[in-house]
Amino acid sequence: MRPVVVAANWKMHTTPADAAELAATIAGRTRVDGPVERVICPPFVCLAAVRDALAGTGVAVGAQNVHHELTGAYTGETSVPMLVGLASWVILGHSERRRDAGETDALVGRKLRRAVEGGLRPIVCVGEQLTEREAGRADAVVGGQIRGILEAFGDGTPADLAADLTSSGTVIAYEPVWAIGTGRNATGADASAMADTIRRAMADGGLGSRAEAIPVLYGGSVTAANIGEFLAEPAIDGALVGGASLKPDEMAGIVARAGLTAEARAGERE
């Protein structure tokens, strides 16, 4: 059974002085009976403070990015080895990184390789622009992103690829770019259809039937009010939450709904 995951992306918000308190508050407000994996991804400067605040809470810490090399003359960058002891998850290829830093599918694939090799659990982001969706190209764009990332990930056999991505706990986050921070969001049916597209692309890219084991999250103006629509879709396994992840009440509502989904899915398997 695929896990249900709720990951908070704090982006460039909070400082070391206030991040610990916010993280602890969210951890306390999001305790649920259902087996939900909770992750908070603060800015780099807040990683240590959030790690300490979350110790013993069951909430994991993630980084928002990582470099594709292990070391070198890359001023201002952070490598996988530098994150050891600070984070156990990492967001890769977020649309804002693609937009602001020019990240490509090939670069995201190289970062994915480093994360997997270094023991970080990746959340790999894909998603289309509004013009691409309106042109009827959403499936082709997102499928192409998946294929490009997998091609750059490595040149091992398909069995190696499947083993690496499933054993590392890799997660895909579908983020329609037009829904990030805009107040707009895709429908549950839209997200479910794209999750199917993502898994087909992964299957064709070398994972075969093991693509069904890869969790797909929805990200894009997720709130406590709309999360139920997405989690009602069997193909959607949680959420990558942006602005709402800075609000304890919102996170409490989102994780509570995720807990109900996790319990229901676990019951269906019994």
Q: Which residues are catalytic?
A: 94, 175
Cα Rg for the chain, rounded, in angstroms?
17
What is the CA 148 to chain-centroid distance, rounded?
Answer: 18
DSSP type of residue 3: P
Phi, psi dihedral angles at 91 (to 5 degrees) = -85, 135
Nearest CA to 147 among 60, 196, 207?
207
Residue labelled with tokens 């919102």? 250
Rounded Cα–Cα distance for residues 44 and 11 (Å): 10
Nearest CA to 36 among 252, 269, 270, 186?
252
Which stretch of DSSP H or E encloses residue 246?
Answer: none
Rounded Cα–Cα distance for residues 238 and 255 (Å): 9
- Cβ distance 89 to 56 under 8 Å? no
Nearest CA to 52 among 31, 29, 27?
27
